[in-house]
Structure 1
């Protein structure tokens, strides 16, 4: 607990939790990063699931770099949000579930991106299943994130 209180008392932690604009600005950045990362991940999964078959799967590859930028923004803003309430968030099961789901979503999406990078437009049933699981994981991560404020 001492470490958690120390994190909350850090410059970033107090800026997020104790200033008028700290929390809204960081939360807004977190939403922008999420929209970018998850939006692109969803575009990829929807394409692999069969939507817009005229667009080659390989055409999705360049978007991954933008998604990584969104993830970095989320990582930084999410860390700042955590520092603002570390002693509560550390014990919040919805927060822990979100972290696990985000890591899983990243791993599953990276596997889909590797299919695109492989320069193959052949999408198998296994790829479609992977896309479905990735999509469900991102949706569950978003829901878990929303539940953080309501559940302990």
Structure 2
């Protein structure tokens, strides 16, 4: 608990929790990062699931760097948001589930990128299953992110 209180009392924690603009700015950055990361991930999964078959799957490779940029923005802004309320968030099950799902979503999407985008334009049934699982993981992660404020 001491470490959690230290995070809340840090300059980042106090800026997020105690200033008029800290929380809204950091939360907005978190939303932009999430939109970027999940938007690219869903774009790839939707393509693998069969939408827009005239677009080669391999043409989506450069967007993975954009998604990673969104992840870095989310990591930084999410860490700042955590510092603002660490002693509550650490024990919040919705927060814990969300974090696990985000890393599972990243791993699944990265695997999809490696299989589908970097090697071939062929999409197999296994790729479609992976894409569906990645899509579901991202959607459920967003839902649990929204539930953080309602679960204690």
TM-score range, shorter chain: over 0.9
1:49-76 alpha-carbon deviations (Å, 9 max, x no partner): 0000000000010000000000000000
Q: State the TM-score, normalizing by the size of structure 2.
A: 0.99
Q: What residue number does 2:29 align with?
A: 29
Structure 2 stretches of 5 or more lacking a match? none
Instruction: Tell me how far apart the structure 2 counterparts of residues 107 and 67 of structure 1 sit (CA, whole Å).
Output: 13
Instruction: Tell me how far apart the structure 2 counterparts of residues 55 and 122 of structure 1 sit (CA, whole Å).
Output: 12
Q: What residue number does 1:107 align with?
A: 107
Q: What residue number does 2:40 align with?
A: 40
Q: How far has the Cα of 1:125 moved from its partner?
A: 0.2
Q: How far has the Cα of 1:94 moved from its partner?
A: 0.1
Instruction: Tell me how far apart the structure 1 counterparts of residues 2 and 78 of structure 2 sit (CA, whole Å).
Output: 21
C-alpha RMSD over aligned residues = 0.4
Q: Does 1:129 align with 2:126?
A: no
Q: What residue number does 2:118 align with?
A: 117
Q: State the TM-score, normalizing by the size of structure 1.
A: 0.99
Structure 1 stretches of 5 or more lacking a match? none
* Alignment length (residue pairs): 151
Instruction: Tell me how far apart the structure 2 counterparts of residues 55 and 7 of structure 1 sit (CA, whole Å).
Output: 46
Q: What residue number does 1:18 align with?
A: 18
Q: What residue number does 2:67 align with?
A: 67
**Post-superposition, which runs of at least 4 consecutive aligned residues in structure 1 deviate over 4 A?**
none
Instruction: Tell me how far apart the structure 1 counterparts of residues 48 and 2 of structure 2 sit (CA, whole Å).
Output: 47
